[in-house]
Amino acid sequence: MALAGLCVGMNVMEAADIGALFSILVAVFTLFQALMEDSGTITIKAFRGVSRIAVIALFAGFIAVQTVQSLVGISIQGVAGTGQDTETKAAHWDWATQWSLPKAETLGLAVPGLFGYKMDTPKDMMPALQDAYRSGVYWGGMGRAPELDRYFDSGSQGPEPSGPGLFMRFTGGGNYCGILVLLVAGWAVAQSFRRKNSVFPDAQKRMIQFWAVVMVLCLLCAWGRFAPFYALLYKLPYFSTIRNPAKFLIFFSWALVIVFAYGIHALNRRYLEPAAAKTADVFDRKWTFVIVGLFAASVLGWLIYLGEKPALVSYLEKVGFSDADPGSDTSASAIAAFSIGQVEWFLALFAIAAGLFLAVLTGCFNGPRAKIGAALLGGFLVLDMGRANLPWVTHWDYKEKYEVGTLNPILEFLRNKPYENRVAGLPFRTPPGLELFDELYRIEWVQHQFPYYNIQSLDVVQMPRMPEDMKEYKDALAPRGDLATAPLMAREWQLTNTRYLLGPAGYLEVMNEQLDPGQHRFRIVQRFQVAPKPGITHPTRLEELTAVPNENGEYALIEFTGALPRAKIYSNWEVNTNDTANLKTLGDLNFDPTRTVLVSTAENGLPATATNDDSGSVDYQSYASRNIVLSAQTTRPSVLLLNDKFDPHWSVTVDGKPAELLRCNFIMRGVYLPDPGHHTVDFRFSLPHRPLYITLSALVVGLGLCGFLFIASRRKTAPPS
């Protein structure tokens, strides 16, 4: 039980909310197992089960203490939308259930590729396999914004909803279970309900039935907002902080594998071992009719699906796939043909799987032929699962993807001292015909090349749980749809040290007139064009494109000279612990953040106001993600502002002596330098070590328990002297 607890805790450490759900399932299984034992009254068995759960929970918490503490800090405490009141839960229902499994896509568990694979299949697949998977893009509804579903359900009345986060889909259909796995698991469940002559003893019957119930419940929960079942879980404490009901498919698959293991073991005992039966009994002969019936129903379903191809094409056009060019790999007609073709593949593989299974039931692989039967079953399993999973095997040439040795001049410019400035893409609607760079920037540059070259960006790749302070900050600096508040966009870039912007060059004049009227601090550093990388004549993937300097290029690297430096010395500050007032001041376009810094920390010895004369300079000695060392020169008491996000786990020293970390401009870091002169300022990030030591101690205990069990088992099996 102690080792089981350590394993559960490790799962929480690796999988966060999935690990938490996993631990609940383990607790339910442990209690069920105890109640099904033969010895003791129901009260004793229940007490025994609860005691085992307590041991598992104790050791799970023992090893996962550090991770749990961190998860609470970044996913629950101080995170927008995690309140447990009825209003907050109701408001975040769409957010929590966006990734629900549409009920129709349950068929994808048995038919791989029915709804496509990845959203960009066959991109990044092995070249030799790409032709076989062309038009295999995912066309289902997983990840679709609930607003779009409601729009379609209402008959598509009015304009289609659009905006950030309103995805038509955002995932891939990768939940295939395996034809042979489903057949064997189904046989095992059916055998568990036999009253007489079952291949399973009573204890195993109960376990198979337990996992069958788990599969059904997990599938119902995976439907999320498309069925009423998940709404019941959502009402439980903190379940509203767990996103994506489709995660329950993980537990469905896990339970299915357990039932399959029971089934394949029983098949081996009954039909493959030398002493096994040579022919199927009455029950298994009836099961052959079930398999034949399922195959016949599948053939009928394929014929109906084939006849409904025009309706499928029409649906695909409604959900975002054009059929203007029927020869295109992503046309509605091509996608429909691919989907129907995947059903045909399913029928062929279903026939083979059924044939192998029935051959086992009829004793074809009994006795000396058992190894042949096992090899055929195993080989088919690998073939079937491998074919379905090939689209997820990604092949990259990292030198090509990251332009190693041939980096384009735009990124080469940005990677030079990247800690001094942030970068952002222009947030405006992309003009028709210029969408290519938007895709290149959002997918290849921000997600891949920026991290590779340590280029720091204001654009967030993924943040489903936004901290409250960041949400309040962004809301205070968000334009409100009129020209009067449009300059707030430039104010956010100014306060966040966002000096460089990327996008269509034609926006420059509009930005100067509307975002920075009067000062016109936007200027073009370099115009460029999107073009194929050297040696590529016909690009088919985004990573085959790059930026090429061009004086008349449609895109530009734009500099905003009004952005604050990453580090700046202020001799003028205002101390105010009222966050609402500080946010209002930051959003006031009459406030000059280049002259005054707002301090939200009431620090002993820091005057409430200061002079209006800034005098000082700051340089970098070193900059790393967890340790930043600055060299400051001041002529009077000053506040050093570092435009990196505040977090209480940062600490700061001045000339080797601890100093108080200040929260400046609502969300940034700073420190007070009371004495004029030269100072070395050292910012360090460090989480509390005690939880880490507890987790390390648990790992040592786990290794010790494993060693003890190993030695004890050897002693039990050792022959008497």
Average confidence score pLDDT of the chain: 91
| Cβ within 8 Å of residue 708, ≥6 positions away | none
Give Cα 504 distance to the centre of its chain: 30
d(CA 353, CA 576): 72
Give the helix ranges, DSSP H, for 362-516: 370-389, 398-401, 409-414, 435-439, 450-452, 468-476, 488-495, 508-510
* pLDDT at 721 exceeding the cut of 90: no
Residues 153 and 257 grouped into a single domain:
yes
Q: Can you tell me the mean pLDDT for 504-513?
A: 95
The verdict on 709 and 597 lying in the same domain is no
Q: What is the mean pLDDT of residues 337-344?
A: 96
Q: Using DSSP, state whether 573 is helix, strand or coil.
A: strand
* Cα within 13 Å of Cα(337), Cβ side: 14
Residue 452: name the closest of 515, 523, 396 by CA: 396
Chain-centroid distance, C-alpha 116:
20
> Final residue of a domain: which of 560, 580, 596?
560
Tell me, yes or no, whether 44 and 141 share the same domain.
no
Q: With a cut of 70, say whether residue 322 has pLDDT above it.
A: yes
Is residue 486 domain-shared with residue 582, that is, in the same domain?
A: no
Distance from C-alpha of 585 to C-alpha of 477, rounded to nearest angstrom: 10
Residue 429 DSSP label: P
pLDDT of residue 396: 85
Look up residue 720 and give its DSSP letter: P
pLDDT of residue 311: 95
Rounded CA-CA distance 283/280 in Å is 8
Q: Are residues 300 and 367 in the same domain?
A: yes
8 Å CB contact between 142 and 171 = yes
Query: Of the ranges 45-59, 90-104, 597-611, which one carries the lowest mean pLDDT score?
Result: 597-611
The pLDDT assigned to 329 comes to 85
pLDDT at position 77, please? 66
Higher pLDDT, 161 or 653: 653
Given 495, 527, 560, the domain boundary residue is 560
pLDDT of residue 466: 85
Q: Over 90: is that where the pLDDT of 473 sits? A: yes
Distance separating alpha carbons of residues 2 and 204, to the nearest angstrom: 24
List the single range of 203-217, 483-497, 539-553 with lowest mean pLDDT.
Answer: 539-553
Residue-level length of the chain: 721
Q: Looking at the DSSP assignment, which residues form a beta bridge with residue 114?
A: 116
- Cα 601 to the chain's mean position, in Å? 35
- Evaluate whether 522 touches 560 at the Cβ level (below 8 Å): yes
487's tokens: 């300059």
| Number of separate domains in the chain | 4
- Is the model's pLDDT at 384 over the cut of 80? yes
- Rounded to an integer, the average pLDDT of 292-314 is 96
The mean per-residue pLDDT over the stretch 395-404 comes to 88
Residues 518 and 531 in one domain: yes
For residue 275, the model assigns a pLDDT of 63
What percentage of residues in the chain have a pLDDT greater than 90? 68
Mean pLDDT of 660-685: 95
Residues 230, 221: Cα–Cα separation, whole Å = 5
Q: Are residues 240 and 328 in the same domain?
A: yes
Domain identity same for 255 and 378: yes
The mean pLDDT value for 302-317 works out to 95
Interatomic CA distance for residues 526 and 411, integer angstroms: 11
Q: Residue 45: CB partners within 8 Å, gap ≥ 6?
A: 34, 35, 37, 39
Query: What pLDDT sits at residue 87?
Result: 83
Residue 353 belongs to some domain of the structure: yes
Alpha helix locations (H) across 98-201? 127-130, 146-153, 179-192
Instruction: Return the H-helix or E-strand segment holding 255.
Output: helix 248-267
Q: What is the mean pLDDT of residues 368-373?
A: 87
Residue 666 included in any domain = yes
Q: How confident is the model at residue 158 (pLDDT cuts 50, 70, 90)?
A: confident
Element (DSSP H or E) covering residue 442: none
Using an 8 Å Cβ cutoff, are 388 and 172 in contact?
Answer: no
On whether the CB atoms of residues 506 and 556 are closer than 8 A, the answer is: no
Highest mean pLDDT among 236-245, 363-372, 651-660: 651-660
Predicted TM-score of the model (pTM)? 0.83
Does residue 173 register a pLDDT over 80?
no
User: Is position 653 within any domain?
Assistant: yes
Q: Give the per-residue pLDDT at 163.
A: 77
Comparing 324-328, 416-420, 442-446, 517-521, the range with the smallest average pLDDT is 324-328
Q: Encode pLDDT of 276-302 as tens digits.
A: 556 667 888 888 999 999 999 999 999
Is there a single domain that holds both residue 186 and residue 285? yes
pLDDT for res 689: 82
The string of pLDDT tens digits covering residues 640-670 is 999 999 999 999 999 999 999 999 999 999 9
| Confidence category of residue 368, pLDDT binned at 50, 70, 90 | confident
Q: Is residue 393 part of a domain?
A: no
In a domain, 140, yes or no: yes
The residue-averaged pLDDT of 305-316 equals 95
Answer yes or no: do 673 and 709 share one domain.
no
Which pLDDT belongs to residue 84? Answer: 76
182 and 269 together in one domain: yes
Q: Which of 353, 388, 423 is the last residue of a domain?
A: 388
Same domain, 239 and 101: yes
pLDDT of 71 higher than 80: no
**422-452 residue pLDDT tens:** 999 999 888 888 889 999 999 999 999 999 9
Q: Among the listed ranges 81-85, 227-231, 240-244, 598-602, which one has the minimum average pLDDT value?
A: 81-85
Give pLDDT, residue 81: 65
- Residue 532 belongs to domain spanning: 398-560
